[in-house]
Structure 1
């Protein structure tokens, strides 16, 4: 789903006000918690950033560490 800057601004405003119900154009969304709203906001910002042409994607590095000798 493509998000708009206006939708992001509305959600940011709701988070700042502590309101769990947000209205986007003809839709009304009621979130269960502030945590859910922050997760959604992070997703919206990520998708907006991915739409910017010429911008490289962020790289994620996962490092694994095993302690001990590895012998069983």
Structure 2
């Protein structure tokens, strides 16, 4: 299944409210335990991170003072 940011937000709302039922647009999923809900959140996070692909970092250094 392809996850979206909305899936992650729905899971996090359920965790914050102490609920084990998560509603996605046309589906409702009831998790048996909070631990199962937390594992689902991590799976969604991992999926979103891997779908984003590698990220490059650009570090720019500048010197605004007088030269030595």
TM-score, structure 1 as length reference: 0.72
Q: Which stretches of structure 1, 4 residues or more, deviate above 3 A after TM superposition? A: none
Separation in 2, partners of 1:54, 1:21 = 33
Separation in 2, partners of 1:16, 1:54 = 30
- Number of residue pairs matched? 56
* CA deviation map 1:3-58 (0-9, x unaligned): 01011001001001101111101100000011000000000000100011334xxx
Tell me the residue number matched to 2:9.
9
More helix by percentage: 2
TM-score, structure 2 as length reference: 0.76
Residue 24 in structure 1 maps to residue 24 in structure 2: yes
Separation in 1, partners of 2:25, 2:12 = 16
Separation in 1, partners of 2:15, 2:54 = 31
RMSD between aligned residues: 1.4
